[in-house]
Structure 1
Amino acid sequence: MIVKWLRESTIASVLLLLVRLYVGYEWLTSGWGKVTGGFDAAGFLTGALAKSGGEHPAVSSWWASFLEHFAVPNVGLFNILVPYGEVLVGLGLILGTFTWLAAFFGMVMNFAFLFSGTVSSNPLLLLLQIFIVVAGSNAGRIGLDYFIQPYFRKNFGRRR
């Protein structure tokens, strides 16, 4: 019932617009600060690894293994992916362009931050992005998706 309302209701699309603008602003400002401020993920990754030890670790061993064996050796890649990913997610949500995809990738980043032992605003953003993803195309009805989705349906839709 709630899913149907999120996916079909005009009122839901207006509420989702407000949610999108808030979440998008959070992502955009966070990412822009990193793009213009000389972001380096090395300190964050090292701090996350430090949280994987002790009696009550905040970071699971499997995630610490991923960080140690992939993220830290490829920190240069993460120095690009994180800030520009945050900016693109923010723009996608604010403009309503590929809305559910932007929210999905925002969720991926929120989970990565949470797995790394950082709470901050991540749970709230994650929850709001779940509503956007569940709403599907209705989340971008008031946005550029209104114009983009018909093109994709016409040119790339299911063929029988």
Structure 2
Amino acid sequence: MIQIRPATPADARAITELLQEIVDAGGTTAITGQVKREDIAAQIRATPRSAWHVAEDETGELLGFQWIDPMIEEPETCAEIATFARKGRTGLGIGSALFKATQEAAKRLDYTWIRANIRADNAGGLAYYQSRGFEDYGRIDGYVMGDGTVVDKVLKRFDL
């Protein structure tokens, strides 16, 4: 059974460990390098218009997490979303359960739409957001990641 709850700074260690596994595996996120617990804890606390949720199993093991933050270009109307699930645990409904909680939070925070910014080579991420009802609306060609890797990105939007 998947349990969803709001994340707190106390979840930063588990979130950092899961995210570092995904970053180290490569190919799905634009995040590079070392993920720091202090940075995650600070990001969870960063703004009252952010919403972080964690997905856990019945033993409390972190299965995934999702957050929204105000989009820099349109902070009053749009939230930017990020979603991560533990490797080998995708396809179990984690993302669906997380998005339900995130969608409710986005409405409560008065956003009118959510933007997903996905690496074009991340087939799983593209399929996930498409299955939630996100629609393509743009691209970023030649995005340079922190480690110098160049990727294209697909921009998707979900109207609330």
Same-fold status (TM-score > 0.5): no
Query: Structure 1 or 2: larger helix share?
Result: 1
So what's the TM-score if we normalise by structure 2?
0.32
So what's the TM-score if we normalise by structure 1?
0.32
Task: State which structure, 1 or 2, has the greater radius of gyration over its C-alpha atoms.
Answer: 1
RCO greater where, 1 or 2, for CA within 8 Å and sep 6 or more? 1
Query: Structure 1 or 2: larger strand share?
Result: 2
